[in-house]
Amino acid sequence: MVRAARGQRDSYSPIVTPLSEGSDPVAVAEGLRTLFPFQAFYIADLDAIEGRAPNGEAVARLGAMTDAPELWVDAGFADAAALDAALEKRSIYPVLGSESQHDDALLRRYRDHPDLILSLDFFADGFRGPPSLLDLPDLWPGSVIVMTLARVGAAVGPDFVRLEEIRRKAGNRSVIAAGGVRGEADIRALSSLGIAAALVATSLHDGTLTAAQLMSLHG
């Protein structure tokens, strides 16, 4: 497992965290669960996203954990065969990353599947993916991640303006924030905007979001 920084993948390095002795994905996940009994983990398989062999072994080990979590897996899905295979696996919720799509055909075909999650991917230079994935909310499935990669690992706060804009377009779909969450205050601010959930990592590993605060947010 690596620590992400602003979407600059060539600079990612193995994670160092007080929550586990090493960077093994299962060890890190178990360490995160010492803070809170998380029931879902988001996984970006960077090898698969960048066209290399997917890291299926690590995903399988995470799925075999005690009290198996939901695994939200972005593995660069860009064809029906790979997406079908993921949807058949228990506990896997495939994430269709906009950056991996050549057109909107795959989303049109699978948008009504209850386990599908769409990730709208924003890099420093803007949205990455076919424009229709961003412009046509009728194509969106029930859950949509707003992935602001330029803020990932940067502790600069979520992109509230973009998140509010997409939430308005999303109707009754669940919008999930990703990138920049610094702590409890940001999560409460997101909730006040109607954001359903947030993907959080850096603030957990750095201790700026504590076990006590997680319990308070859950309550």
What pLDDT score was predicted for residue 6?
A: 53
What pLDDT score was predicted for residue 3?
A: 46
- What's the structural domain count of the chain? 1
Mean pLDDT by 10 residues, the chain (219 residues): 50 75 92 96 92 89 93 97 95 97 98 98 95 98 95 83 97 96 95 96 92 91
Computed from CA positions of residues 159, 165, 170, 171, in that sequence, does the dihedral angle turn out positive or negative?
positive
Task: Determine the 3-state secondary structure of 149 from DSSP.
Answer: helix
Residue found by looking up tokens 């178990």 in the block: 30
Query: How far, in Å, are 93, 158, 160, 198, 215 from residue 191 at the CA level?
Result: 23, 12, 11, 9, 15
What pLDDT score was predicted for residue 155?
A: 72
Structural domain including 105 reads: 2-218
What's 13's domain CATH number?
3.20.20.70
Q: Are 15 and 28 in contact (CB under 8 A)?
A: yes
Q: Which residues touch 47 (CB under 8 Å, ≥6 apart)?
A: 53, 54, 55
What pLDDT score was predicted for residue 150?
A: 87
What pLDDT score was predicted for residue 65?
A: 93
